[in-house]
Every structure is written in structure tokens, then in C-alpha cells.
């Protein structure tokens, strides 16, 4: 990046570090933090939406829909997360390629499943065989979003269903007695109040989602943990910037990054909880009333 970086072996210490910390691989390390933030920003609302749909399915009066919602919640919550992070991208990717194979290559006369191999024609590969690296990265990132949203959507569904049940039943009955339909009572009575009951559980799910982001490497993405391990490891004479084993310092940077995210999240949820608790018949609402008196 700098003109004096032509021969790192002759540089004084501060210039050596200036060159070392501005290499293309280090910029990839810096971008990996943005990728983590982008994953959280995209996955959280999708998982919350899936959780809301799952909670509505669980409390539905239509039995098949209720069973579907309960099955989704219980299966995902009962299976280790890492299994879904490995299974979902493979299953979804092969499903897309299977559909594309039948569209692009209708004359294919060989079985797609050949033992443990999954073989489709060249035109059905997703992403394409000659796709640039950025397309492959977007594809892998999209698969990561789907996997994370499926897993954490199930936990959110369980939390939101419990919050819906926590809203006093008498209020719903009163609304129905005044002529509201079940859907109207849900929108006007349950939905506005359930968030204050759901917020503690959603806060925990958010923190777990943050802690799960290092699993991105399972999906082929070069995340912050990958680069910390690669850049911090001891180099040899084959590298331009050989150095001792500095992994402890790189992982210390990761520690500070995740602790900062946790600290900022706690403050954000505390403010949101205080705002939602105004006028609510909860312990937090009672505390606010006493403080204002």
C-alpha cells in the first residue's frame, strides 16, 4: 500500500507493521468483520419473521398447520445447530441443482444419484462452473443466511408463542365480547403487548446468534476466525512478512469485537425494554411507575 513497502526486510519496526497491516490479506480480515455484521443485520429480521410465522402456526386451530409449526420448532430445537448448518446448504443446493438439471438437461439418461455422488449436467451447476469468485461468495453467504434463519427462527417461534400465551386471556375475551373477531383481537390486543414478554427471550437468542457467527467457516466463507488463525500463525521464509506465532493477539481482537457487540446489544435491548414496558402490567412496568411517582 505504501511506497516504502517494496522490501519489508529493510524496514524499521513501525514501517514494517504499517506494511504488514495493510496487505490484501489483512484487508480481507477487516472485511470479514463487516460480513459478520451484514449476516446479523440480514438474518435477525428474517429469523424473527420466521419465528412469528412459526408461532402463529403453533397456535393455529387448523390441526395440520399446528402440527407443522410444532414439528418445525421441536425438530430444529432438538437437533444440534451444527447439523443444520451442514445439512441445509447441502440439501438446498442439491435441490436447486436437481430442478435446474431437469430444466436444462431433459435428455440426460444417467441417474443423478450414483452411490454417494450427486451428479448433474454442467449447465445445472449452481453457481455456474465459470462463475466469478464474488458470485460464489454471495451464493455461500445466502446459504448461510437461510441456515441461520431456519435455526434461530425456531427458537424465536418458541419464545413468541410463550409471549402470546402470557398476554392475559381476560383481555382477549373482553375484546371478543365487544365484537372483535379472533384475528382483530390478536392484532389489537395480543400483538402490541406480547413483545414486552418476548423481549428477554429474543435478547438471549440474539446473543446466541452473535456467538454462532464463527460457524460461517463451515459454509466455505472466510470469516474473521479463519483469517485470525491464518494471519496469526507462524510464517516461514515463503511469506513476505514472516513473524512468530501471533494468534493470541488476533484472537484477542476477536474477543474485543464480540464483547463490544454483546455490550452494545445489552444496552440496546435495555432501552427497548424500558420503552415497551411503559404502561404494562409487568415487573418492569411497575418499576417504571414507581420511579416516576
Of residues 134 and 74, more confidence is placed in 74
Contact 205, 71 (CB under 8 A): no
142-154: average pLDDT:
91
- pTM score, whole prediction: 0.83
Look at residue 260 in the predicted model and tell me its pLDDT: 94
- In this predicted structure, the answer to whether residue 129 has a pLDDT above a threshold of 80 is no
284-293: average pLDDT:
52
CA distances (Å), origin 87, targets 37, 93, 217, 223, 224: 24, 10, 14, 20, 23
Nearest residue to 59 (alpha-carbon basis) of 183, 197, 199, 189: 183
Q: Of 10-24, 144-158, 220-234, 279-293, which gets the smallest average pLDDT?
A: 279-293
The pLDDT tens digits for 215-234 are 887 777 888 888 888 888 87
Look at residue 258 in the predicted model and tell me its pLDDT: 93
- Cβ neighbours around 268 below 10 Å, total: 12
> Residue 52 is inside which H or E element, if any?
helix 24-58
- In this predicted structure, the answer to whether residue 280 has a pLDDT above a threshold of 80 is no
Domains of the chain by start residue, with CATH: 25-233+246-292 (1.10.3720.10)
257-264: average pLDDT:
93
- In this predicted structure, the answer to whether residue 270 has a pLDDT above a threshold of 60 is yes
Look at residue 77 in the predicted model and tell me its pLDDT: 85
- In this predicted structure, the answer to whether residue 236 has a pLDDT above a threshold of 70 is no
Q: Of 37-41, 117-121, 183-187, 209-213, which gets the smallest average pLDDT?
A: 117-121
- In this predicted structure, the answer to whether residue 287 has a pLDDT above a threshold of 70 is no
Q: Write down the mean pLDDT value for the chain.
A: 84
Look at residue 237 in the predicted model and tell me its pLDDT: 59
- In this predicted structure, the answer to whether residue 288 has a pLDDT above a threshold of 70 is no
- Cβ neighbours around 168 below 10 Å, total: 12
157-164: average pLDDT:
92
Q: What confidence tier does 54 reach under pLDDT thresholds 50, 70, 90?
A: very high
DSSP assignment letter at 5:
G
> Residue 281 is inside which H or E element, if any?
none
Look at residue 3 in the predicted model and tell me its pLDDT: 64
The pLDDT tens digits for 205-214 are 999 999 888 8
User: What is the DSSP track for 204-243?
Assistant: HHHHHHHHHGGGGGGGT---HHHHHHHHHSPP-TTSSS--
The percentage of residues in the chain with a pLDDT greater than 70, rounded to a whole number, is 89
Look at residue 19 in the predicted model and tell me its pLDDT: 79
54-76: average pLDDT:
91
Q: What confidence tier does 49 reach under pLDDT thresholds 50, 70, 90?
A: very high
C-alpha cell of residue 159: 419464545
- In this predicted structure, the answer to whether residue 292 has a pLDDT above a threshold of 60 is no
The pLDDT tens digits for 113-123 are 877 778 888 88
Amino acid at each position: 500500500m505504501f511506497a516504502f513497502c517494496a522490501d519489508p526486510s529493510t524496514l524499521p519496526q513501525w514501517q514494517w507493521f504499517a506494511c504488514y497491516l495493510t496487505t490484501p490479506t489483512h484487508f480481507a480480515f477487516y472485511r470479514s468483520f463487516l460480513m459478520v455484521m451484514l449476516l446479523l443485520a440480514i438474518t435477525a429480521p428474517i429469523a424473527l419473521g420466521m419465528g412469528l410465522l412459526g408461532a402463529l402456526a403453533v397456535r393455529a386451530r387448523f390441526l395440520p398447520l399446528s402440527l407443522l409449526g410444532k414439528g418445525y420448532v421441536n425438530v430444529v430445537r432438538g437437533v444440534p445447530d451444527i447439523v443444520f448448518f451442514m445439512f441445509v446448504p447441502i440439501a438446498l443446493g442439491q435441490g436447486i441443482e436437481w430442478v435446474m438439471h431437469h430444466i436444462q438437461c431433459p435428455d440426460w439418461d444417467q441417474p443423478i444419484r450414483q452411490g454417494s455422488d450427486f451428479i448433474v449436467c454442467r449447465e445445472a451447476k449452481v453457481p455456474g462452473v465459470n462463475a466469478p469468485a464474488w458470485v460464489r461468495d454471495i451464493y455461500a453467504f445466502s446459504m448461510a443466511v437461510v441456515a441461520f434463519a431456519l435455526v434461530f427462527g425456531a427458537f424465536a417461534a418458541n419464545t413468541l408463542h410463550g409471549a402470546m400465551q402470557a398476554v392475559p386471556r381476560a383481555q382477549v375475551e373482553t375484546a371478543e365480547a365487544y365484537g372483535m373477531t379472533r384475528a382483530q383481537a390478536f392484532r389489537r390486543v395480543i400483538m402490541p403487548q406480547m413483545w414486552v414478554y418476548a423481549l428477554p427471550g429474543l435478547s438471549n437468542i440474539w446473543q446466541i446468534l452473535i456467538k454462532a457467527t464463527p460457524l460461517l467457516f463451515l459454509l466455505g466463507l472466510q470469516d474473521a476466525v479463519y483469517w485470525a488463525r491464518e494471519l496469526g500463525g507462524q510464517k516461514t521464509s515463503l511469506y513476505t512478512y514472516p513473524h512468530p506465532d501471533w494468534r493470541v493477539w488476533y484472537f484477542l481482537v476477536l474477543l474485543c469485537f464480540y464483547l463490544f457487540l454483546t455490550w452494545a446489544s445489552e444496552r440496546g435491548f435495555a432501552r427497548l425494554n424500558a420503552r415497551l414496558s411503559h404502561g404494562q402490567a409487568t415487573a418492569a412496568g411497575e418499576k417504571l411507575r414507581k420511579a416516576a411517582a
